[in-house]
Amino acid sequence: MFKSFARACAVGLIALASLAAQAGELPQVVIVATGGTIAGAGASAVNSASYQAAKVPVDKLLASVPELNTVARVRGEQAFQIASESFTNEHLLTLGRKVAELVAKPDVDGVVVTHGTDTLEETAFFLNLTIHTDKPIVVVGSMRPGTALSADGALNLYDAVAVAGEPTARAKGVLVVMDDCIWSGRDVAKTINIRTDAFQSPWGPLGMIVEGKSYWFRAPVKRHTSNSEFDIANLTTLPRVDVGYGSGNANGDAFKAFAAAGAKAVINAGTGNGSVSKEVVPTLQELTARGVTVVRSSRVTGGGFVIRNAEQPDDKYGWVAAHDLNPQKARILTMLGLTVTNDPAQLQRMFWEY
C-alpha cells in the first residue's frame, strides 16, 4: 500500500509540474536528438555493451522520462537518428545551424543535444567554438541502452535538462553532462567504453549535479561561444583534416595518402609530447612545403600536453603544437582555423586561446 501511495504522489507531483510548465513557471528546454546509445536498445536487459544504437525516436525518449516535466518545459526535435561514429562534417554543420536557430529564439532558455558517445566530445567542442550565445547548450549521451539493467540514459537526460534550464549554467560554454558530472565541452573526452564514468577531463569537472541541482566549482577560461571568432552562420563547408596515429615502426605513408586525397591539414597523433618518428619527419616537412598544415598532438590518454619546440623544432618547420587538445579535438579546431587562415602563427594563437 505504501509503495502505491508513494507512486501516486510521484505521479501527482509530475502532473503539478506539468501544469506549472504550462503556466510558464519553468524554463523552456528543447531537446535535439541525434541518435546514439541513449536512443539504443539491446536484445535483453543484460545486454549493456552489445546493442543497436539509434533505435528510439525523440518522442518516445522523452516519454520514458516523465520527470523531465518537473524541471523544464520540454519539447523534442529529431535532427538525425545515427550512431555517432558516422557523424560527418556535414552533420556537424547541420546540427550547428539547428542549435543556433533554437538559441536565437527568445522563448528558448536552453538546448540539450542527445548524442552517441563515440564522437560526443568532438561535437561538443565544435558547438563550443561556433554557436554565439550565452544560453546553456548541453550535450548528453549514455553508456548503456535504456533496455539494460542499471541504464544510465534516463538520469543523464534528466540532469542535462536540469542544467540546460539553470541560469547559473549561462556563459560557461557548451557543457557535457554525464554520470552526475558537468564537464566543459572543450576538454572532456571519452576514456573507456564499458563504464558509466567513461567521460573525464585532465582538468576535472566544472561541477556536479545532484537531484536536479547544479553545484559549480570552476569555470572555463578559454574562449568559447559568444567570444569565439568562428560563427556557424558563416560556415558552408569544412576543409578536410585527417589524423595519423603515431606508434613504433611508424612511417609517412598514411600522411602522404591523406594529402593525395585532398587533406588541407594533418594531425600527428604522436607519442608522448606529440613526438614524431624520425621516419615521419621528412614526410611532414615535404607536406608543409606543399602547403599542408601540420599539427602535433598527443595520443596520451587522459592528458597529452604538447609543448611547442620540444621534441621537434616547430618554429623551424612551421608546425603547430596542439597544446592540451587531443587529436580528435585538434582536428575540429584546425578545420575551423583553416576557414579563417592558413598562417601557422595564427593557427598556433588559436590553439593557445581556445
Active site residues: 37, 117
- 237 vs 46, 232, 261, CA distance in Å? 42, 10, 17
Interatomic CA distance for residues 121 and 186, integer angstroms: 8
Query: What distance in Å separates the CA atoms of residue 330 and residue 321, rounded to the nearest whole number?
Result: 9
| CA distance linking residue 352 with residue 149, whole number of Å | 43
Per-residue b or e along 53-73, where b marks 16 or more CB atoms closer than 10 Å to that residue's CB: bbbbebeebbeebebbbbbbb
Decide: 94 and 79 in contact? Cβ < 8 Å. Answer: yes
Residues pairing with 73 in the sheet:
28
Residue 84 marked as a ligand binder: yes
Extract the C-alpha cell encoding 94.
547541420
DSSP β-bridge partners for residue 137: 111
Other Cβ atoms closer than 10 A to 251? 12
Say if residue 214 carries a ligand binding annotation: no
Do the annotations mark residue 334 as ligand-binding? no
Backbone angle region of 146, left / alpha / beta, with phi > 0 → left and psi within -120 to 50 → alpha: alpha
Determine the Cα–Cα distance for residues 217 and 334; give it in Å rounded to an integer: 30
Annotated binding-site members for substrate: 84, 117-118
Annotated binding-site members: 84, 117-118
